[in-house]
Amino acid sequence: MLAIYVLLGLVASSFASSCCTSEDRAQVQDVWSAVWSAGLSGRRVTLAQAVFSAIFEAAPSTRALFAGVGVDDMNSAAFRAHCIRVVNALDVSIALLDNPGVLNHELSHLGAQHTPRNVDASAFGVMADAFSSVMPQVSSCFVPDAWTNCFNRITSGIIAGM
């Protein structure tokens, strides 16, 4: 439990201080497009299921948020489809890191989609940690700082829109 608070604290402090620079963006886009397979959905599901498993392990109470999309059976078509939608939104956002004006509108749209769902802002910190633990397992050249800076750029935009 203490570890979670420490991690949340670290994530919170990186929100404030670290910028997703153009070098960071390029690294994140490279890493992401190598992991992400645009022609296949299987890899996306595997990645997202691993992320959600890590989230539910770190913050079991968040599981209830996904009751409407079949979380009871994480292999159900409903939950796998939800996984694809989540990772797809991240894919769209990462690709838009080069177009900040367009990205900002996309993030406020995603924020508005989260508003009625009572998602706590801290859940995005848990999700950031989950991605940071899963990505190095599937990426051969993962750059943690660049990833964290740009991931937080995306989630802070979503939180601001909530």
Partner 1 sequence: MKFLIIACLVAYAAADCSSLARLQVRGQWAAAYGSNGRSRLALGRLVWESVYANVNNAAGVFSGVRGDNIDSAVFMAHSARVLGGLDMCIASLDEPAILSVQLAHLSEQHSGRGVPASAYPAFVSAVVNAVRATIGVSNFDADSWTACMTEITGGIS
- Indicate the residue among 18 and 29 with the shorter CB distance to partner 1: 29
Per-residue DSSP letter, 85:
H
CA–CA dist 2, 155 (Å, integer): 23
CA–CA dist 13, 36 (Å, integer): 29
Give, for 101, the enclosing helix (H) or strand (E). Answer: helix 100-114
Place of tokens 């497009």: 33
- Indicate the residue among 6 and 112 with the shorter CB distance to partner 1: 112
Residue 114 in marked binding region = yes
Rounded least distance, CB 109 to partner 1, Å: 6
CA Rg value for the chain: 15
Place of tokens 């769902």: 117
Helical axes 122-138 vs 42-58, angle rounded to 10°: 130
- Indicate the residue among 11 and 28 with the shorter CB distance to partner 1: 28
Rounded least distance, CB 8 to partner 1, Å: 29
Rounded least distance, CB 23 to partner 1, Å: 16
Rounded least distance, CB 10 to partner 1, Å: 29
- Indicate the residue among 74 and 126 with the shorter CB distance to partner 1: 74
- Give residues in contact with partner 1 (CB under 8 A): 29, 32-33, 36-42, 44-45, 77-78, 80-81, 84-85, 88-89, 91-92, 95-99, 101-106, 109
**Annotated binding-site residue numbers for heme b:** 114
